Structure 1
Amino acid sequence: MSWFSWLFTLRLCSAALLLLVGSQLGLRLGLQMVQTATCTQWGTPSDQGLFKDGDVVIGGLFSLFYNPAARDNGFTELPHNKPCTGLEYLPLQYIYAMVFALEEINHSNSLLPGVKLGYHIRDSCAWAMQAALSLVGGDSATCDQPVPLIIGGSSSITAMILSRILAPLSIPLMSYTASCPCLSDRLQYPNFFRTMPSDIYQAGAIAQIAIRLNWTWIGAVIANNDYGQVAIKVFQEETQGAGVCLAFIETLQRENIVMDARRAALTIQASTAKVILIFTWYTDVRELFLQLANINVTDKQFLASEAWSTSGNLLQDPITSKVASGVLGVAIRSSAIPGFEHFLRTLNPSLRPDDKFLWEFWEMVFGCSPGASPLSTNSPSPTDRLSQKASLPPCSGRESLEEVQSLFTDTSQLRVTYNVYLAVYASAHALHSLLSCPNRDSSPGNISSTCSSPKQIKPIEVLHHLNNLNFTTPQGEMFYFQEGNTPAKYDLVNWQNTPEGSLKVVLIGRVDGFDINLDPSAIQWNTGSNQVPVSVCSESCSPGFRKANRKGEPLCCFDCIPCAEGEISNHTGSLICERCPSEFWSNAKRTACVPRQLDFLSFNETLGFILATVAVSGASVTTAVFVVFIYYRQTPMVRANNSELSFLLLLSLKLCFLCSLVFIGRPSVWTCRFQQAAFGISFVLCVSCLKVKTIVVLAAFRSARPGAGSLMKWFGPGQQRGSVFLFSCIQVFICIVWLSLSPPVPQADLTIPGLKVTLECAMSSVVGFSLVLSYIGLLACTCLLLAFLARKLPDNFNEAKLITFSMLIFCAVWIAFVPAYISSPGKYTVAVEIFAILASSFGLLLCIFAPKCFVILLRPEKNTKKYLMAR
């Protein structure tokens, strides 16, 4: 071919590509114009495929070879696409799964009866676009019919490109491994279908596993592409609010895999995270494991994505056994295909002389050439291929795959292979629905009620029926497409050690949509035990503590702070401490609210016992003084100081001492009422006696003056008793009104923190108590004033001086009582009031009666009328 003709051919191919993205009609015309002259120049080599004619032909694209041929761009010869090398066993199994499914359908009496399905299967390798175009445009060498549907797109990137190219023609593309969530966008990829679930579901499943196993501190190593970035984003969204944090995110770039893997390995070694999530291709994982083995990191638990969770290459690598035993991963769901293993093991080049894929596989497995090369003379480089085959010895013909153990013949866990099998059946059911006459009327653009020939099938009709597909697989599962996606189903697998020291994949659960069925007891962890490993940044706070986040660190890193008094946390990992109800208080461990213990000033405790002892002692001393005064009642000392009021004063002092005992003990309704009334009346009676005695002293001395002789008649014994009675009745009236309207009631003081709550007599009316105290204070102040005025009256024994000192002590005690009473907590308010009662009572008793008893008992010579009258 001349340079001019080659350039003309190139221009025609360019014109075909432009027509391709324009419209279906334009593409068809363009392909027809260049088919006979040009397609073999830019398409894949015509021998790179597996072909079988039929009424309807389904296209297949599989990346069978992993080593693309080097391209010479020196412009010294015409451009030529050389075939790839390096056949892979698993993709070859996928191809024969498609062939097996089509043959199975052709033998079915219920599915597409009378219609024979054929296939055009090509190796995409580095030429996926060209292979797809040659399938949809037909092959010039064989005059093949264009296919209405393609099963292919071995990666998400490839599927995106092919879907966009085929979309203007409405040709469905059905992928068996593309998992990018972006392909679910029906606006961008309206013709895309897949039997592989979206990565959203596997990332969500891994997130739920992490939550269920209480892993809150996880490291992540991801591929630096959409596969890794989208997966880790979904993982973070699913775990948000569940307390799961990522300790780090390391990315791996295929072009710098050694350097990136070394950096990621060092990060994993330095991290405290025990669980590492890996979303990348198995070749990247292999390099990462190698770097981890070099630095002896063997204590990490790995979470695997479907891209490497069942990789035979990793399982057979000794380094993997050292670094990554116990891997827990999500895998493409597996299912048995009855008869498929027998089909594979009975494959033989002698029975399939035109099957060049099987021919090459035979050479690799048995190291011999099965016979003459089946390659056509149109092969791009027949000389090289024939010379290579000529170097191999001829096969004996007794070779068989029956005893061969390889990834190609292993059907124990069919995963991607089953996806291919499902894709074929989905295509067949869509064609069956299309070719059924009642359904044919509903196809887009159809205005005829008659059934068309399978040769007249339009891709847009197949696309329509795929969108409405719903059938039962030969395995009994319901299958349908929802926006081009298949229902999400995964296997949960675990890498477990075998007695031989190798690793095997064990099924330990399943994922159906967002439902996870996992048996943790069946998992063998990296430690070799069945105990779930712990991976946390901070140990979970035990009951009685709450989490306190560390500044600048993730939420999973926190300190445990004990709950404050009165607060509890009764479960592990509590974020807050709950306050107990007012009637309850936290126990010592801050794990439960317990009823508060009632506390009051009792006789059994030290303070109560001391106060009671002092009160009884005071009453006893008062009784003793009373006895002395009774015994010496005829002496001048007793008679001179108004013996009747003295006896009444002693009696009131004794009541003052005894009323303090009412304040000790468990408060009750009656004790609360009686104690304040007894206190108020006793002290009013006491102060009234002192006041009247002071008035009598003043009146006695005033009456001695000229013209004042009639003053004493107003302060005779009757008037004195009447005055005391009147002063006391006023206090009795105040107490009656107070206790009738709003008496003190026993009540627990819940405002004071602590396990013990004080049971006290709560003042329902502060006004009533204030009036009682105010009246006592008024009498005391007037008594003090009168006594102060009479303190210098001429007399050897002026009782006004004693009353003055006693009232000074009395007033000082009760003035100090008010702030002390208000500020004292709990039962100590009662103790303060008892102390004030006892102190003031002892002050009165000692100041008034101690000097008199001293004279009566120890200085009897002074207890005479002459001595007392002397000035």
Structure 2
Amino acid sequence: MEWEGCTPQETIELAVPEESMDTAEFEMLEAEPLEPMDISYASQNPFSSDTSSYLYQIMPRILKIIPGIMKLLKHFNWTWIGIITSDDDSLTFVRILKERIEQNGACIEFIEIFSQINPLSDERVVQINENIKKSSTNVIVGLFNREDFRGIILREKLQKIPGKVWILISEMDYQVIYLWKGGYKNSTLLVSRVKKNIPNFLKFIREVKPIMFPNEFTADLWWTALCKKNCPQSIKRSCRFEGQIRLYPCDNAHFANSYYIYNAVYALAHALRDMLFSGSGQTTAWNGDRRTLSDYLPWKLHRYLKNVHFKNVLGEDIFFDENGDLPMEYSITNLIFLPNGTVKPEIVGSYKPYAAPGKDFTINENMIVWEAAFTQTPPESRCSQSCAPGHRKLTKEGKPVCCYDCIPCPSGEISNETDMDNCMKCPEDKWPNEKRDVCVPKFISFLSHEEPLGIILTLISIFFILITAVLLGIFIKYHDTPIVRSNNRNLSYILLVSLMLCFLCSLIFIGHPDEVTCVFRQTAFGIIFSISLSTVLAKTITVVMAFQATKPGSKLRKWMGSRVSYSIIFSCSLLQVLICLVWLGTATPFPHQNIHSEIGTILIECNEGSAIAFYCVLGYLGFLAGISFIVAFLARNLPGSFNEAKHITFSMLMFCSVWVSFIPTYLSTRGKYMVAVEIFAILASSSGILGCIFIPKCHIILLRPDRNNRKYMKQNSEANRCIFRKGK
């Protein structure tokens, strides 16, 4: 009987007489309905995704080539694709291919579908040609069967359109090679099954007599291979069909199917052998020269065919997978169109669906001949140009995802690959470079001793330290002169030493912040400045008390000793010390990396721990300066040649001006410039006190010695003499 689903030339017939079946076998047939079973080298529907447990294909369904097509597109980074096919069962293939393409981030620009049955009108032909010419894609995937080639390839000349890469998928590869020619362009890649030759097959064809095979197909094949006029003389023979017109050339290209037919025959033979040598083979019976096998039923043979596994004459493993397909390879052939009108097929790659990952796909770009119309090789096929590193894709509204604009990465983010959908944020300690394609370490910023600003502030601080030391030396050297003694030389010494320490503490602010420097920066500055301001306040109060003590009956004369001045300095400074101790005990300052204030910079700064404590320290200094300013201002017009009240008034005015302007400036800056502002405030206010109080005295001591004597002193008021006696 003939198995269902096979054409006469594709079917292997098994004679299974019904009379050879026993009762048990008929009962089994009734209990389990028979399914048609095919073993074929070509599927009747090669594009179908349906599988049958009773269908064995030596040539697998062409759907298995889709992963190979995707690898080919991905290898060349082709993301903008066109598809052309007929309206037959290949639409299933197109649907699955479209899904895979979109899943991989590529896009379909167009899908041209033409009728396979109805004749194409001239208008439709022109429309398809125009659509392909106007398309921006450079890669077109074409799915054709044998009927399609005459209706589309030869009639419409699609391949003559310049600037297109054709990826042809067809089981009839020899028709593609010989029908797709005649002035066409290169850049055509044919994806088809690998052709393999069976040893001695051509020898068998040459020696066989066609009379042994009356079948028309066999005679036609024999005539094509051996009898055509352009065949070599060595294989020409007398041909019964020589007068007929044939289309195929004389070579073995169209014998490719013989390999798969061979495997189909041997697969069935091995399955029959396995069944015969199993327990089922014991019911074999003979009927003359013909062997009748009652067990040769499709439902029995199916189990053996499903598990068949053997090596063919080429040493290859032949077996069927879970879908009834034979594992096979596909070749990628570059069709090179020569000037003489012939086609030279050159295999440039392969796809092996069952190979290990990484070894399943190969392609040799150097062997591919690209069309001269392409400006670069391999050609590109994209809806939009690639977004360079440092940019990201922004999809155009209403367009496919492959059509996009390239925009720079936002601040703090990079993209280190082409065509990135999103930019990546840099770690907190890094920042994008200028191109925004690499995260580089952020610039570390602090007021160092090596940079110009740090050097200048250091030199200024040292200069004022030296100036203060010189003034202290002058006052010590001329300690017995009236001008030094009249202004309470001990308080002058304390004030000069404290100012020297103020200049010195400004150096703590320069350099890399650490735990020690952060703790001592503000506290040392606050305590030392409080001593300086307390001393100024003590000198101011001493001037006022000295003037009041000269009035008749004044009781302040007994308070003119040095104890009052020292008590003022100690008590005012002690309160600042207590504030600083509370500050250190509750919220100790610590070094801090500020990564958010400045773009691309890590600011190494001291976190004050408590802003309230910091402003309490500054507020207390302002309070002392304000009291000193008020008292000195009220006493500025008191008589006396050496009255310090005027000088203290100016010094406190300068001090308050500096620190009032310091606060908004300090709050508006960050990093090393914030530190520089505070250093400047310390240096400016300290130098203001130094210059306003001590420079005039040094001027008299060094340049006007005639005014620095007892005679000049006697000419002044009693208040000066009282201060003079106190200065002793």
TM-score (norm 1): 0.67
TM-aligned CA distance change 1:787 to 1:361, over 3 Å: closer
Q: 1:362 to 1:518 in 2, by over 3 A?
A: closer
Unmatched runs of 5 consecutive residues or more in structure 1: 1-55, 64-94, 103-116, 120-135, 137-143, 149-166, 369-395, 442-448
Q: Work out whether residues 548 and 560 of structure 1, in 8 Å CA contact, stay in contact via their aligned partners in 2.
A: yes
Is 1:690 equivalent to 2:536 in the alignment? yes
Amino acid at match of 2:63: I
Q: Which moved more, 1:835-844 or 1:800-809?
A: 800-809
Q: 2:75 aligns with which of 207, 212, 233?
A: 212
Q: Structure 2 stretches of 5 or more lacking a match?
A: 22-31, 230-236, 720-728
Output the aligned Cα RMSD.
Answer: 4.5
In the alignment, the residues of structure 2 paired with residue 416 and residue 868 of structure 1 have an alpha-carbon distance, to the nearest angstrom, of: 133
Match of 1:717 in 2: 562
Q: For 1:748-800, what per-residue CA distance to the aligned partner results, in whole angstroms no more than 9, with x for missing partners?
A: 43344455533334435556645543442332233334335545656677543
Deviations 1:515-568 (A, max 9, x none): 424232564232389954333334444444444433333333334444455444
Aligned to 1:553: 399
Change (3 A) 1:635 1:785: same
Using a 3 Å threshold, how does the CA distance of structure 1 residues 356 and 202 change in structure 2: closer, same or farther?
closer
Q: Is the 8 A contact 1:274 1:300 kept in 2?
A: yes
Render the CA deviation track for 1:308-347: whole Å, top value 9, x for unaligned: 5x2435535543x522x24223213433234433343345
Partner secondary structure for residue 322 of structure 1: coil
CA distance in structure 2 between the aligned counterparts of 1:192 and 1:807, rounded to whole angstroms: 106
Report what 2:37 is aligned to. Answer: 172
* One of 351, 354, 368 as aligned partner of 1:511: 351
2:129 matches 1:265: yes
Q: Which moved more, 1:466-475 or 1:816-825?
A: 466-475
User: Aligned pair 1:869/2:717, yes or no?
Assistant: yes
- Give 1:5's aligned residue: none
Whether the 8 Å CA contact 1:747–1:760 is kept in 2: the answer is: yes
Mapping of residues 470-869 of structure 1, within 5 Å: 470-472=308-310, 474-475=312-313, 476-482=315-321, 485-497=324-336, 502-515=342-355, 516-521=360-365, 523-527=367-371, 532-564=378-410, 566-623=412-469, 626=472, 637-704=483-550, 709-732=554-577, 735=580, 744-764=589-609, 766=611, 769-791=614-636, 799-849=644-694, 864-865=712-713, 868-869=716-717
2:162 to 284, 289, 298: 298
Q: Which residue of 2 aligns with 1:37?
A: none
Q: Structure 2 vs 1, CA of residues 724 and 298 (structure 1 numbering), >3 Å: closer, same or farther? A: same
Superposed CA deviations along residues 83-127 of structure 1, whole A, max 9, x for unmatched, are xxxxxxxxxxxx4xx69xx7xxxxxxxxxxxxxx689xxxxxxxx
Equivalent in the alignment of 1:141: none
Cα deviations across residues 177-218 of structure 1 (Å, max 9, x unaligned)? Answer: 3344646244xxx65443331232112221122123322222
Distance 1:278 1:353 in 2: 37
Does the 8 A contact of 1:173 with 1:191 survive in 2? yes
Query: 2:545 aligns to what SS in structure 1?
Result: helix
- CA spacing shift, 1:345–1:680, aligned 2, 3 Å: same
The percent of aligned pairs where both chains have the same amino acid is 34
Query: Within the alignment, does 1:438 sit opposite 2:279 as a pair?
Result: yes
Amino acid at match of 1:580: C
Stretch moving more, 747-756 or 731-740: 731-740
Compare 327-336 and 284-293 and name the one that shifted more: 284-293
Structure 2 distance, partners of 1:367, 1:653, is 118
Q: Describe the shift of the 1:857–1:290 C-alpha distance in structure 2 as closer, same or farther (beyond 3 A).
A: farther
Name the residue aligned to 1:38.
none
1:696-720 deviations in whole A, cap 9, x for unaligned?
A: 233234444565x222323412331
Q: Equivalents in 1 of 2:113, 2:147: separation in Å?
A: 14
Q: Provide the rounded CA distance (Å) in 1 between the counterparts of 2:70 and 2:683.
A: 74
Separation in 2 of the partners of 1:761 and 1:541?
Answer: 42
Q: 1:260–1:208: structure 2 CA closer, same or farther, 3 Å change rule? A: farther
Q: Which residue of 2 aligns with 1:237?
A: 99
Deviation per CA, 1:364-387: give whole Å up to 9, x if none.
Answer: 99799xxxxxxxxxxxxxxxxxxx
Q: Give the CA deviation at 1:833.
A: 0.5
1:388-467 correspondence to structure 2 within 5 Å? 407=248, 410-412=251-253, 414-432=255-273, 438-439=279-280, 454=292, 461=299, 464-465=302-303
Aligned amino acid, residue 430 of structure 2: F
Counterpart position of 2:24: none
Distance in structure 1 (CA, Å) of the matches to 2:293 and 2:591: 101
The amino acid of 1:719's aligned partner reads V
**1:747, 1:484 → 2: CA distance?**
66
Distance 1:192 1:311, change over 3 A: same
Deviation at 1:59, TM superposition (A): 7.8
Cα drift, residue 854 of structure 1: 6.5
Aligned to 1:76: none
Cα pair distance change 1:362/1:776, threshold 3 Å: closer
The letter for the 2-side match of 1:800 is: A
Matching residue's letter, 2:561: G
Cα 1:750–1:650 change in 2 (3 A) is: same
**Is 1:249 the counterpart of 2:102 in the alignment?**
no
Aligned pair in 2 of structure 1 residues 577, 216: CA closer, same or farther (>3 Å)? same
1:493–1:509 contact (8 Å) kept in structure 2 = yes
Give the count of matched residue pairs: 680
Write the mapping of 1:25-36 to structure 2, written as runs, cut at 5 A.
Answer: none
How far apart, in 2, do the equivalents of 1:765 and 1:572 lie? 48
Which residue number in structure 2 is paired with residue 275 of structure 1? 139
The aligned amino acid for 2:458 is A
Residues of 2 paired with 1:58 and 1:576: CA distance? 58
User: Any conservation in 2 of the 1:491–1:507 contact (CA below 8 Å)?
Assistant: no
Match of 1:345 among 203, 206, 210: 206
In 2, the alpha carbon distance for the partners of 1:615 and 1:835 equals 10
Counting only pairs closer than 5 Å after superposition, residues 42-57 of structure 1 correspond to structure 2 as none
Helix, strand or coil for the counterpart of 1:721?
helix
- Structure with higher RCO (Cα < 8 A, 6+ apart): 2
2:184 is paired with a residue whose SS is helix
Cα separation, 2, equivalents of 1:295 and 1:484: 36
Q: How has the CA–CA distance of structure 1 residues 59 and 556 changed in structure 2, closer, same or farther, with 3 Å as cutoff?
A: closer
Equivalence for 2:725: none
Deviation at 1:601, TM superposition (A): 1.9
Q: SS at 1:824's partner residue?
A: coil
- 1:278–1:304 Cα contact (<8 Å) kept: yes
**Is the aligned partner of 1:468 residue 2:316?**
no
Counterpart-to-counterpart distance in 1, 2:487 and 2:397: 81
**Counterpart of 2:380 in structure 1: which amino acid?**
V
**Partner SS for 2:371:** coil
Q: CA deviation at 1:640?
A: 3.9
1:356, 1:288 → 2: CA distance? Answer: 29
Deviation at 1:828, TM superposition (A): 0.9
Cα separation, 2, equivalents of 1:662 and 1:840: 17
Partners of 1:576 and 1:183 in 2: CA distance: 37
Q: Choose which of 200, 203, 212 in structure 1 pairs with 2:63.
A: 200
* 2: CA distance, partners of 1:539 / 1:418: 45
Distance 1:767 1:414, change over 3 A: farther
SS at match of 1:601: coil
Letter in 2 for 1:487: L
